Chains A and B, each alone.
Chain A
Amino acid sequence: MNKTERSTATLRPFARKLVMEPNPEDWMAVRDGQFYCVPADCYVDPMTPVDRAVITHGHADHARKGHGRVWATPETVDIMRTRYYISDDTEATKLRYHERHDLGGGVTLWFASAGHILGSAQAVFEYQGQRIVAAGDFKRHADPTCEPFEVVPCDVFITEATFALPVFQHPPLEAEVEKLLRTMTTLPDATIILGVYALGKCQRVMKTLRLAGYDKPFYMHGALRRLTELYESYGQDFGEWRMVSDYDRKDKDRYRGHIVLCPPAQVNDRWSRRFADPIPAAASGWMQIRARARQKRVELGMVCSDHADWNDLIRTCRETEAGMVWITHGRVEALEYALEREGIPAKGLHLIGMEEEAGE
C-alpha cells in the first residue's frame, strides 16, 4: 500500500486557464471509447476487462467484472463483490473518500463523494500540477442513503448529461412520496407494485418513505435483497421488509394496502400476477415525461432521479471552476451548448457502453 495522506477539496486554487499545460488530453485520453489515464496505465469505469481500472460506483454501466486490479471506495468494492464483479483473481484497493493514493506514473488518485448512491465517488486525478475530476454519475438533491456531493475545484471536469435538458427539473423526492402515500389513502385496497433499481433507488425510496412516516412492512422481490442487506451493513435502517417469495403464491390479498418493491421489468410482467388489484408504479427520473411513463405502462410515476437535473448540472460545472468540461453521455449537445454560452469550454465525447437508463 502506498503512502497516503488526507487532502482537502480546497487544497489550492485552480485558476481558469485558456491554454493548459500539460494538455489534459495527453494524459487523460479516450481509448476504445473509454477514459484511459496514460501515465498511470489505468482505465476509468471500463466496459471491457482491463488490467487496471478505477471504478466510480457500482452500477452496471460503470462497474464490470474481469478486471485485474480495481481501485474504488470500500462500499463500491463491497457492492462489486456482492454482484460478483470482483472475483478471487481481482486485486481490489479500497480508498476512503479523500485518501490520496499514488497510482503510479506520477499520478495521484483520490475519491470525493458524488451523492449518487452508497459509495459513489468522483475520481480525482492529479498529474503535473493539473487536476481532472471524473464525476461518474452524480446528483445534488438530498439523499439519506449516501454522502452528499462535494464540489472539487479542478482543471477538467468530466460529467455525464443524462438529464441535460431544461425540461428536467427534478422535484424534491418528499413531494413525490407524498403523492404515493395519497394514492394509498385513496385506494386503500390496492397493491402498489413499485419498480425500482436494486442498487440505490430501492434503498433511497424505502428510506424516504420511512422518514415520511410510512411504517408498514415493505414486500420485496428477491433481486433487491442482497444489496439492501449490504446497505444495512453500512448502518442504514429500512424498518421491516419481507420477501414475497416467503409467502404462498395464492395469498394475493396479503399485499393489499402495501408497497411491493421489485425491479422495473417485473412491474408489468408475470411476477406481478400474484398481487390483488395491482397499481403499476415506478420511481425514475424519466417519469417526468408523460409519454415515457405511459410507454412503461406506469399508472403512478414518482419522479425520482439519482442524477443531477439540468440546473444542477450547469451549477456544478460552474462551481468546479473547471477550465474545460468533458461530457461523456446523455443529452450531450444541450449541455455542451449551454456551457459554451456560459463561457465554459465544453466537449462532447459520446462514450460507448453508457446505457441511458441504467441505474435510473
Chain B
Amino acid sequence: MSFADFSDLLDDLYFTNSNLSKQAIFADYLRRTPDPDRGWALAAIGGTLSFDLFKRNLVKSLMEERMDPYLFQLSRHYVGEMSETVALAWPQSPEPTRLNRLPDLHEVIEEFKARDQGRDRAGIRDYLIRLLDNMSPPQRWALLKLGTRGLRIGMSARTVKKTLAEMAGVDVGVIEELWHGLSPPYEALFAWIDGAADMPDISNVLTYSPVMLSHPIDEEKDLDGLTPDTHAAEWKWDGIRVQVAGMNGEARIYSRTGDDISHSFPDLAATVNWDAVIDGELLVRPANESGEREIGSFNDLQQRLGKKKPSAKLMREKPAHLIAYDIISEDGASFRDSSLDERRERLEAFIAARNPDYYSLSERLDWSDVDDLRALREEAAASEGLKEGLMIKRRDSVYVAGRPKHAWYKWKREPFLLDAVLMYAQRGTGKRSSYYSDYTFGLWGEKDGEELLLPIGKAYFGFTDEELAQLDKWIRNHKVARYGPVQEVDKELVFEVAFDSAHTSPRHKSGYALRFPRISRIRWDKPAHEADRIPALEALVGK
C-alpha cells in the first residue's frame, strides 16, 4: 500500500476525536493493508519503532539551504512546530526527480534503513529530498513525523491494543501479554489475527504480564461477607503499581498499563538477577530528618516519574523501593492458577532472599471483624497520604488479568472535600463539544496582601447529564472574558470538590495540585465568599 494511504490514515486519526471512531478507522486500515505495511503502521502509531529514519537536524539543515532563514523563522513561529512548517512550506528542488508512484510505507522504511546501515549519509539526504519533492503537505508531515518518531496523533497505546483485541476477538489482556514479546512488522501477530496461524509463542521472551485489578468495595453489600478465614487485608500504598520482571539476566519494570519504565528506575532494575515476575507498588525511600530511610509519599516519588535518565544524586536521595504484593511466575513456572495464599508463601520466600533496601513484603494486616477493618481504614486516612486505604483479597483467588468480580476489593479512605469557586470553563470534546464541561476552580487566598481566588484544579466529571446542562446554561449567562478556548465566568458558583490527595506544585499559582479531582456536589445555595480558603487545603493534606 502506498505511503499515501498511511498518510491518509494519520490525518483521519489526528482529526477524529472519539476513541471508538479512531479504533474503527485504524482497524479498517489494518484489514485492507497487506504485510508488512500494516505492521510498520502499527509500530509507528503504537510507538514501537526503535530507530529514526533520519535526524531532525538533517531536516533543519535542508530547510536552511532552501529557504530564507528569516521567512523560515517567521513561519515556524506561526505554525509553532518544525515538521509541520517544513511540510507546508517545503520549496521544491529546481529539477525534482519525479516518481511514477509513491513508495509503500515499508519501502520507505527499508530504504532509509539500508542507507543508514551502509553509513550512506548523502544517500539518506537524497532520498529524503526525493520523497519530499514528490509528496503533498499532509504526506510530508506524515513522513517527517514518522522519520523522527514524533507522531502525536492522540491515539494511546491502550486504544491501539484495544483495536487489535477487537480484530482478534480476544480480551485486551491477551494483546497486552503479547505486545512486548513481539516486534515490528508484527507479521506473526497479524497471521494470528487473520486466523492463518496460531497465537505467537512468547514464552521465551521477557515481557509484561497483564495485572490483576480490584473493584471498589460496596459497603452495603460486600462488608458482611468478609472474614479473616476467607479474606486477607493489606495496605493500599500510594505509589505506582508495577511489575518487575527478570529473565536470563535481563530486567524490566512495567507500569500497570504495560509501558516499559525501566529507564526511570535503573537502581531497582540493577538488583534483578533472578527469573521471576513480581507484582508490587513502586515507591521511594528518602531519608527522614534523623537520617533514617523510610517509605516516601507520592510527592517524593513524583520527582522520579517520567525521568528518562535520573541523575545519580536523585537516585541517592530518592532510591526506588518495591513493596511486593504478589508473585506471578518464577523460574519458568506460572503461579497464576495457584491461590493467593499459595502465592503468598512463595512470595515470602522470594522476598526473604532479596536486599531489604530495595524489596519488602506487603504486610498482612491483623483483623478479626469488620470494625477492625474500619479502624485500619481510619489509620490509612491518617497516614498523611502514604496509604490510600485497604486492599481486601480473597485468600483462594487465582491471579487473573483484569478485574474479576468478588476477588479483590479496594476500600479507599474517604476523599477530601473542599468548597471551591468556579473560575473558568472550557468546552468538552465529542458528545460534549457544545457544552462547557471542563471546569477550573479555585480557593480564596492571599497574594500580595490582596484576597483573591487561586486556581487549584480542573475537573470534568462527577456530575449528571442534567447537571451538565444546568451548568452549561449558567456559564453562558455568566460570561466575563474569553482567552482563546477558555471562558472566564463570574466568581459566583461554588462546587464541592472531592479529591484523593494533593501535592505541592510550583506550576500552580496556589502552590498545590489535586489528584483525581471531581465535582461531588454543585452548591447552588452557597455564596462564593463562603467557599474554602487555601489554608483549609493545607490543613487537610499537610503543608
Q: Beyond A289-B79, A295-B484, is A165–B434 a contact (Cβ under 8 Å)?
A: no
Q: Which of B15, B68, B78, B427 contacts A331 (CB 8 A)?
A: B78
A168 touches B88 (CB 8 A): yes
Q: Beyond A272-B434, A334-B71, is A167–B88 a contact (Cβ under 8 Å)?
A: yes
A331 touches B433 (CB 8 A): no
A273 at the interface (CB under 8 A from B): yes
Considering only residues 243-297 of chain A, those with a C-beta below 8 Å from chain B are 268-273, 280, 288-291, 293-295, 297
Considering only residues 55-113 of chain B, those with a C-beta below 8 Å from chain A are 67-68, 70-72, 74-75, 78-81, 84-85, 88-89, 91
List of B residues within 8 angstroms of A334 by Cβ:
71, 74-75
List of A residues within 8 angstroms of B81 by Cβ:
291
B516 at the interface (CB under 8 A from A): no
Q: Beyond A299-B15, A331-B74, A337-B70, is A169–B88 a contact (Cβ under 8 Å)?
A: yes
List of A residues within 8 angstroms of B429 by Cβ:
297
A301 at the interface (CB under 8 A from B): yes
Chain B proximity of A297: nearest CB distance (Å) = 5
Considering only residues 111-162 of chain A, those with a C-beta below 8 Å from chain B are none
Q: Beyond A165-B74, A166-B67, A166-B71, is A290–B434 a contact (Cβ under 8 Å)?
A: no
B485 at the interface (CB under 8 A from A): yes
Report the bound CA distance from A352 to B88 in whole Å: 29
B148 at the interface (CB under 8 A from A): no
- Number of residue pairs across A and B with beta carbons under 8 Å? 75
Report the bound CA distance from A337 to B81 in whole Å: 22
List of B residues within 8 angstroms of A272 by Cβ:
433-434
B15 touches A166 (CB 8 A): no
Interface size on A, residues (CB 8 A): 31
Nearest residue, chain B, Cβ from A296: B485
List of A residues within 8 angstroms of B88 by Cβ:
166-169, 288-289
Contact string, A21-38, partner B, CB cutoff 8 A, digits 1/0? 000000000000000000
List of B residues within 8 angstroms of A299 by Cβ:
15-17
A298 at the interface (CB under 8 A from B): yes
Q: Beyond A280-B433, A297-B433, A299-B17, is A290–B84 a contact (Cβ under 8 Å)?
A: yes
List of A residues within 8 angstroms of B192 by Cβ:
none
List of A residues within 8 angstroms of B75 by Cβ:
165-167, 334
Report the bound CA distance from A300 to B11 in whole Å: 10
List of B residues within 8 angstroms of A341 by Cβ:
68
Nearest residue, chain B, Cβ from A168: B88
A99 at the interface (CB under 8 A from B): no
Nearest residue, chain A, Cβ from B432: A268
A293 touches B15 (CB 8 A): yes
Chain A proximity of B28: nearest CB distance (Å) = 8
Nearest residue, chain B, Cβ from A273: B434
Chain B proximity of A191: nearest CB distance (Å) = 14
Considering only residues 468-512 of chain B, those with a C-beta below 8 Å from chain A are 484-485
B78 touches A268 (CB 8 A): no
B14 at the interface (CB under 8 A from A): yes
Nearest residue, chain B, Cβ from A287: B15
Q: Beyond A297-B427, A299-B15, A337-B71, is A167–B434 a contact (Cβ under 8 Å)?
A: no
Q: Beyond A280-B433, A297-B433, is A167–B70 a contact (Cβ under 8 Å)?
A: no
List of B residues within 8 angstroms of A169 by Cβ:
88-89, 137
A189 at the interface (CB under 8 A from B): no
Report the bound CA distance from A337 to B89 in whole Å: 17
A312 at the interface (CB under 8 A from B): no
A333 at the interface (CB under 8 A from B): yes
16 CB contacts below 8 A, A to B, read A166-B72, A166-B75, A167-B88, A268-B433, A273-B434, A289-B79, A290-B141, A291-B79, A294-B15, A295-B484, A297-B17, A297-B429, A331-B74, A337-B70, A337-B71, A338-B71
Interface residues of B (CB under 8 A from A): 14-17, 67-68, 70-72, 74-75, 78-81, 84-85, 88-89, 91, 136-137, 141, 427, 429, 433-434, 484-485
- Counting from the closest, the 7 A-B pairs by CB-CB distance are A167-B88, A166-B89, A268-B433, A167-B89, A167-B75, A334-B74, A299-B15
Q: A273-B434, A301-B15 are in contact. List 9 more A-B contacts (CB 8 A).
A: A165-B75, A167-B89, A169-B88, A271-B434, A280-B433, A288-B137, A290-B84, A295-B485, A297-B427
